[in-house]
Amino acid sequence: MSAGDVPPGAQPSTRRYAPATMQRRRVLALSAFAWGHAGAGAADAPGGAVRTRVDTEAGAFVVEVDTQVAPLTVAHYLAHVDRKLLDGGAVYRIVTLANQAPETRHKIEVVQWGMNRPDGQAPALAPIVHETTRQSGLRHLDGTVSMARAQPGSATAEYFVCVGDQPELDFGGGRNPDGLGFAAFGRVVEGMDVVRALHARGEADQYLAQPVGVRSVRRVARDGRPGS
């Protein structure tokens, strides 16, 4: 297995992020959703759909999750949102076809964001059980949002958005040597143009020299107003 085939979040090393030395975590794959939309104007629509707005220094995008689909992962994400634990995070890793090693067999394209913690700093909330795409029925499609992780059950507050379909990130896919894939749990429903613009900022190194700040992540209603 070449180094390029190591899954997002799995290979620790040191990076300079703001003033702190950060630990590299490879990105986990994103999963795309095919939910129905009901209850216009509600942050928590009937059926469990919830929208959150990720406001970055380069623009905003809206992530929709469903509390009835990948429920453990969604609950963990919303707990971070509701406690404002993702405020002050960053878009810090951009994976493009060009910045992966030539020998990488299972290349992906993703934008990774969240709380890239300093080395040795404990996460605000405990890691969660790995909820596979075989369990959830989700797939890593264009715009899918997924959990970054190292070992299964190590995911905390690092996420990524798929740019294009990424089947190698699903359960049984080849990107992760353990074959368990990544825990997809949401999809970008607004602002995918912002995500693509972020992806276009990719550098020779996957980890940005100047990460893009995440100002806040909040629940919003379907009309874009602040949610409950």
What does residue 34 show for φ and ψ, rounded to 5 degrees? -130, 60
User: Which SS3 state, helix, strand or coil, does residue 91 take?
Assistant: strand
What does residue 159 show for φ and ψ, rounded to 5 degrees? -130, 165
Question: How remote is the C-alpha of 188 from its chain's centroid?
Answer: 10
% of the chain surpassing 90 pLDDT = 67
* Between 139 and 6, residue with greater pLDDT: 139
Q: Where are the domains of the chain?
A: 3-36+43-220
Residue 12 has pLDDT above 50, yes or no: no
Q: Provide CB contacts within 8 A for 157, sequence distance 6+.
A: 80, 85, 86, 89, 114, 115, 117, 123, 124, 125
pLDDT in tens, 182-194: 999 999 999 999 9
In this prediction the pTM is 0.80
Residue 24 has pLDDT above 50, yes or no: no
* Average of per-residue pLDDT across 67-92: 97
Q: CATH number for the 3-36+43-220 domain, one of 3.40.50.670, 2.60.40.10, 2.40.100.10, 3.30.200.20?
A: 2.40.100.10
What is the band of 71 on the pLDDT scale with cuts at 50, 70, 90?
very high
Q: Please report which residue ranges of the chain form alpha helices under DSSP H.
A: 71-82, 133-136, 192-199
Q: Exposure string (b/e) for 4-23, b if CB count within 10 Å is 16 or more?
A: ebbbbbbeeeebebeeeebb
* Average of per-residue pLDDT across 139-147: 98
Question: Distance (Å, rounded) from C-alpha 77 to C-alpha 79?
Answer: 5
The amino acid present at 188, given as its one-letter code, is V
